[in-house]
Amino acid sequence: MFQVGDKIFYPMHGGGIIERIEEKEIFGQTQVYYVVNIPHRNMQVMLPFDKTEQLGMRPIVGPDQLDDVLSSFHSVEPEATPMNDTQRQRLNMSKIKSGDIYEEVAVIRDLLRIKNKRKLGMADKNMLDNARQILISEVVLVKDIPHEQATHLLDQLCDFS
């Protein structure tokens, strides 16, 4: 499915590059793993070859799709559905775990809208920062730009001050 050098996205961690494919014996069973470097987290993960779909691993989006995603920051504000902080945090976590870049942007956009109305709680601040870093990591790989430039791009789009 994926090859060494492929740029991928791994939900909850962000964009990465497959460094190698290797076999490991664990509990007497040999399995094939992708060894993925996640640069923005300065970490390396081993993902089982046969569970990549289940884990939500996907190729990074293309430049056109990224431009479409970034333009969705300015989409019309959805009707507010009443939910408490815990419900919103569970929903947002589910969106981030999905690996869907549009859902990820929706989390960032919605939390920024709340931030513009009132002060965010610590859990929401952390969720916003995490979602933002995950998106930036994919922007870095898609546009082949430095982390600082991708951060600046999102700052301009969304006013992450």
pLDDT digits (tens, 9 = 90+) for 12-39: 999 999 999 999 988 898 999 999 999 9
Residue range(s) occupied by CATH 1.20.58.1290 in the chain: 63-158
- pTM for this one? 0.89
Between helices 122-143 and 85-98, what is the axis angle to 10°?
20
Q: What is the pLDDT of residue 161?
A: 45
Q: What is the pLDDT of residue 33?
A: 95
Q: What is the pLDDT of residue 77?
A: 61
Strand partners, 36: 18, 45
DSSP-derived letter for residue 105 is H
Q: What is the pLDDT of residue 76?
A: 59
Residue range(s) occupied by CATH 2.40.10.170 in the chain: 7-59
Q: In what order do the strands lie in the sheet with 58-59?
A: 43-48, 29-38, 14-26, 7-10, 58-59
Residues belonging to the chain: 161
Exposed, middle or buried: residue 112 (CB in 10 Å: 0-12, 13-18, 19+)? middle
Give the distance, in angstroms, between the CA of residue 79 and the centroid of all CA atoms in the same chain. 25
Residues 1 and 11: their CA atoms lie apart, in Å, by 18
Superfamily of domain 63-158: CarD-like, C-terminal domain (1.20.58.1290)
Q: What is the pLDDT of residue 156?
A: 87
The CATH number that domain 7-59 falls under is 2.40.10.170
Q: Which two tokens mark 139?
A: 């922007």
Low-confidence ranges of the chain (pLDDT < 50): 160-161
Strand partners, 33: 22, 48
Q: Which two tokens mark 109?
A: 């956009």
CA distance readout (Å), 12 to 15, 21, 31, 52, 135: 10, 21, 23, 14, 10
Q: What is the pLDDT of residue 160?
A: 45
